[in-house]
Amino acid sequence: MNQDQLKQMVGEAARDEVLKLPAGQILGVGTGSTANCFIDALARHKDHFAGTVSSSNATTERLLKHGFKVLDPNDVQSLPAYVDGADEIDPKGNMIKGGGGALTREKIIASMAQQFICICDSSKQVPVLGNFALPVEIIPLAKGAVARELEKLGGKVSLRLAKATRADLNQTPSEPFVTDNGGWILDVAGLQIANPAQMEAQINQIAGVITVGVFAKEKASVLLVSNATGVSRIT
Ligand code: 5RP
């Protein structure tokens, strides 16, 4: 079974999970290839929900294409669940997120939700976070100052660059990747995040940081994880 099939399998399991919620509620929807599998699996059941709140422009586009109603988070009072993938997840449900660059809106929507249902394949499960370079969304003019602070934590910092488009495929990309919020992303490699809550709080305090991709305060409350033998549900 390849990774795409594992993502599809866990996307379908998440669909079954959210269909257990009473009808007529609002659902939070994450970003990335696993979240896309979930959206596609849920499309046939969109009328079960009064609407969705989306964590990125890409997810909004996909939800609208399937005919889901997408609401402004400011108009939402109650969100029973948020479903999203992760780049890494530890045994306590702490995560690294932001590989797709949507970490700020993901954290906001996760903070509104009563439960965070994390969906991933087993390759994302790690004993300690940090093998995946930690994304940190920043205000562009603070790049140098924030990078120096992050280096003090022992990481190797690099500015995320935009993916090459078809027109400049043969050239090395040199433009920064720009988030949906107009921020830039610093990826910090080489950290061993033994205390995710402390690392999240510490990086949050650096002036110029918009959001750090450690999700400890907003950790997963339910994990649906797929491997070749099926999907396990861990709470
Ligand atoms: C986007 C994210 C994604 O949830 C994370 O990168 C996982 O993506 P995928 O499901 O494509 O592996 O945090 O900002």
Measured from the CB, is residue 122 less than 6 Å from ligand 1? no
CA angle 74, 94, 222 (to 5 degrees): 70
Which residue puts its alpha carbon closest to atom 7 of ligand 1?
A: 86
Cβ atoms of residues 60 and 84 within 8 Å: no
* Nearest Cα to Cα of residue 134 among 37, 206, 55, 36: 206
How high is the pLDDT of residue 173?
Answer: 63
How high is the pLDDT of residue 95?
Answer: 98
pLDDT < 70: residue spans in the chain: 164-173
How high is the pLDDT of residue 174?
Answer: 82
Measured from the CB, is residue 90 less than 6 Å from ligand 1? no
How high is the pLDDT of residue 171?
Answer: 61
How high is the pLDDT of residue 163?
Answer: 81
Own/partner long-range contacts of 229-232 (Cβ < 8 Å, ≥24 apart):
230/9, 231/9, 231/10, 231/13
CA dihedral 60, 64, 69, 75 (to 10 degrees): 30
Considering the entire predicted model, what is its pTM? 0.94
Measured from the CB, is residue 155 less than 6 Å from ligand 1? no
**pLDDT, tens digit, 9 for 90 and up, residues 44-88:** 999 999 999 999 999 999 999 999 999 999 999 989 999 999 999
How high is the pLDDT of residue 193?
Answer: 97
* Residue 187 CA, ligand 1 centroid: distance in Å: 14
